[in-house]
Every structure is written in structure tokens, then in C-alpha cells.
Amino acid sequence: MADTPVSVALCPDTPEARYALDTLLHVLGVASRDAHAGEVADIAYGDAPGRCVIPAGPQDGWNDPRPVLTRDGSQAILHRPGGPARGRAGADLGFDVLYAAYAFLTAPWERVDEVDRVGTPVAAAGWLAANDLLLEPMVHRYAALIADALGRGALPERSIVLTHDVDSNFGHVFAVRESAALLRRELQERRLSAARRAAGLGRRIARRAMRGYDPNDRWEEWASLAADLGGRPAYFVASAGLFDDGADRYDPPYDVTHPEVRRTLRALVAEGAEIGVHFSLAARRSTAAVREQRARLEEVVGARVASARHHWWALGNPPEPTLRAQADAGVRVDCSFGFNDRIGYRRGIAYPFRPFDPENRRVIDLWALPTLAMDIALFNEHTPAFERAPALERLVETVRATGGALVLNWHAHALNPRVLHGSGEGLRALLGTLAPNSWTALTPLELADAAEARRGAAG
């Protein structure tokens, strides 16, 4: 039976403060109710009396892109100028934990941080990295402060969510078509690379005649690896790509409606894989495109498609309009909060949470599940080989210590030893360090189901 709900009193009671508290309590698996008139609340925010007191800082500027960071010992405290910024003293948590959690969950600094060509924040040049917070699960740490003050609640059990973007696959079917499509673009743009592209097209035609498979297609190996973890594979598949009208030159070069691709995807579903939609780079600009791409993939695979990730994490800046469009289109869980150039906690959390829309001051009705590490963000020519394993091990240790989901994105072609700087072997080595039975392997939708159940049990 669920524990008795904690009573809460918020003064001031704003959508932002209530959202932050609801999320922190959800992470802890604790239900809440509003305190009755005259009741001393279990959790009191601001001027209300309570057993666990969260002082309220200034209520203006919660979406300011540059919060103040203070450290009290090992505790990182985000606050507004002039707001409380001390460590816990008895029942008083010492600082505005609700503002601090809200800031991490909404990441206002992303509005002014440097972004790449598709609008995704550049982690190495961002506010989190500058303040040494990229590898810190701060929402979990703030939730733990409340749990300690209440003497109840627990952070989520550890789970591993291994996902694969299907980007560079089916080359034996589409390599020639890809080269021809890119050659046409380069000729139209009068690029000097067109001559090299034409020569490459000739080589691809010759190779196609010699080989009837793509060494990047490792479906059986991924299924075996997932089974070893006690789970099943999860793929994000592009239903709109390079060959579609209005496509970006970096969209995946395959066509899901091709009979061989359709057969492959339906076989993966029959064998237990979860298939989500890998939205194109331009999808964020159109609610209709989001809806159409999800529906197209659903028709191809013959099964429900309710999870999503945007190619290159291209949610747009700000991302809330895209998240709203996904919720309207039937997406239950989005895994697009990640970085192209670093690993880490883009929203300070490693668990499904409901995103908040600062413009409309309301919660968006889908689960956001941040991806903590992508293969090419670590296994690349810029990261020395000796730094890769320690970085992943530190990430694993923070999830192990604070609970939540270790969400990884290793592309579907990563087990080809000739690509991605050995990321496949790096993943195998990492998984070999996980203690048996200490992690639960889940797909994105399975973890969303677990989050729903946790919320239901708490409620």
C-alpha cells in the first residue's frame, strides 16, 4: 500500500513552484495533498508553516538564462540574485529548492548558449559545462534533500535503457541512390566536392555488384546484447529521410517504405523490438510533419509507435513547441534531450519527467527521458581513447548512486568494428562492468510505464 500522502503548503503558490515540487516528489515516489486550513504542512514553501521548510527566493526571473550559482560545501545551489543560498539547517532546507529544480528541468541557459547548425546546444560551450555541472544529476540530489528532511521517499531503482538510432543502415540497398542524391545537391550548389562525389558514386556502383549486405546492419547482435541484459532492443527509425522532399542533406539515407526495409522492421517487431520514430531535422518546424512521420512509421511496422527521438537532438530552440506537437501527435515519451558533443545530464535528471512550458506556464502531456550518452559524443577523433572509459564509468557511478535511468544511444551501426572509433567495443566493455542483477533493462516505453505506475502508486 502506498504511504500516506505528504501535506504541502505553497505560499506563494505558482505554476512553476508547484511543477518543481510535483516533479521532485514524483522522483521520490511520494504522493502529496494540499494542507488543510490551519494544518502544519509536511512541506512548506515560503511563508507557510511546516515540518520541512523550503525558503522562497525572489519570484521574478525564474526563466532568466543566467542563474546565480553558489556552493555550500559539496552542495551546488542555484538561486536568484538576493535569494537564500545556504545549506540545510534542521528543518530548513536553506535555499529555494523549487526554483533550483525548476531551473535544471527547464534549462533557461539553453536560450542563450551556443548552438550547432540544427539548434542543439553545444555542451562544451554551455552553462552546465562552465559551472562543472554537466555530469551532476542535480534534480536527484535536490529530491534527496527533501527525502532526508521528510524521513521517507526513495530515489528510483537503477535501470538501463539501451537505444539505437537507425541512421547509416541498409547501404546495400540505398548507397548508390544516396550518392546520386548528394551529387545532385552538390552540382546544384556548384560545390568543388562534386567531382569527388561522382568518383565515389562509381565505386559504390561497383561495390554494390559485389556485395549484397551492409556490414552496418547488426540486428541479431543487438538482440543478443539486449537479451544478455535481460531486455529487448529499442530502435529509433527515420520515416522521412534524405530522399524526401525538403530533406536536409544529413537526414538518414534510406526509405522505410522499401520492401526490404519494411520486412526487416516488421521482423524486428515480431522478435520483440520496440520501434520509435526518429524525426527528421526539419520535423520540428511543422506540427503536421511530426504527425505524418509518426503515422507513416506506424503503418510500415504494423505496430503502435509512441516513442521518439529527433535526429541530432533537433528539438528546436526553444523545444517546447516541438514537444507540444509530439504530445498532440500521440508520442508518449521523447528521448531527444541529449548532446552531440558531450555526455551528461542535459536537464539534471535521469528519469522520465513531464516538461514544463514556460511560455504557457503549464505541463506538456508527454514524458521526456533524457539521453545521458551517445556513442559519437565520446568516441570521436577529438576525445583521446584513454579518456573514454573513465568518463562513462563516472556517468554510470552517478546513476548508480542516485538512482534513475542510464539512457544510452549507440547507433545501430556502432557494432561494425570499422566505424565510430571503437564505440561498439567500448559499449561491450562498459556493460561488462555492470554488476549482474543490479540494473533493470527497459525500453523507453517500458520506463514510461514504470514512471506512470510509480506516480499511480504514490497517488
Cell triple for 420:
565510430
Ordered DSSP codes for 10-62: EES--HHHHHHHHHHHHHHT--EEEPPTT--EEEEEETS-EEEEE----SS-T
CATH superfamily of 158-170+215-458: Glycoside hydrolase/deacetylase (3.20.20.370)
Instruction: Compute the distance between CA of residue 87 and CA of residue 104 in angstroms, rounded to an integer.
Output: 18
Q: What integer pLDDT is reported at residue 3 of this predicted model? A: 75
Q: Which tens digits make up the pLDDT trace of 132-142?
A: 999 999 999 99
The reported pLDDT for the residue numbered 193 is: 57
Whether the CB-CB separation of 343 and 133 falls below 8 Å is answered with no
Question: With 70 as the cut, is the pLDDT of residue 271 above it?
Answer: yes
- Among residues 366, 375, 317, which one has the least CA distance to residue 342? 375
Q: What is the pLDDT at residue 185?
A: 76
Please state the rounded mean pLDDT for residues 123-144.
97
Burial 355-385 (b: 16+ CB within 10 A, else e): bbbbeeeebbebbbbbbbbbbbbbbeeebee
Residue 391 pLDDT: 94
For residue 245, is pLDDT > 80? yes
Instruction: State the pLDDT at residue 455.
Output: 79
H or E segment and range at residue 333: strand 333-334
Contact call for residues 454 and 156 (beta carbons, < 8 A):
yes
pLDDT at position 179 is 80
pLDDT for res 436: 78
- Dist. CA 170–CA 408, nearest whole Å: 22
Give bridge partners of residue 77 from the DSSP assignment. 70
Greater model confidence, 198 or 66: 66
Predicted confidence (pLDDT) at residue 423 exceeds the cutoff of 80:
yes
Pinpoint the alpha helices (H) of 151-234.
Answer: 171-188, 194-210, 219-229
Residues 6+ apart with CB under 8 A from 452: none
Give the Cβ contact number of residue 121 at 10 Å. 27
- For 41, the grid coordinates are 504542512
Stronger pLDDT, 47 or 3, i.e. the higher one: 47
Nearest CA among 330, 288, 335 for reference residue 306:
330
Give the whole-angstrom CA distance, residue 69 versus residue 276. Answer: 38
pLDDT at 1: 34
Write down the pLDDT at residue 210. 43
Distance CA(19)–CA(238), nearest Å, equals 33
What's the pLDDT score for residue 196? Answer: 61
Partners of 159 in the β-ladder: 405, 440
Residue 432 grid coordinates: 561488462
Residue 56 pLDDT > 60 = yes
For residues 385-394, give the mean pLDDT.
94
Q: What is the pLDDT of residue 195?
A: 55
Residue 319: what residue type?
P
Measured in whole angstroms, how far is the alpha carbon of residue 331 from the centre of its chain?
14
166-219: pLDDT as tens digits:
999 999 999 888 888 877 876 766 665 555 655 555 555 555 544 578 999 999
Helix, strand or coil for residue 255?
Answer: coil
- 209-226 pLDDT, tens digit each: 445 789 999 999 999 999
How far is 276 from 238, CA to CA, in rounded Å? 9
Which residues are paired to 46 by β-bridges? 11
Average pLDDT, the chain: 92
Q: Cell 546513476 appears where?
A: 399
Model confidence pLDDT, tens digit, residues 286-342: 899 999 999 999 999 999 999 999 999 999 999 999 999 999 999 999 999 999 999
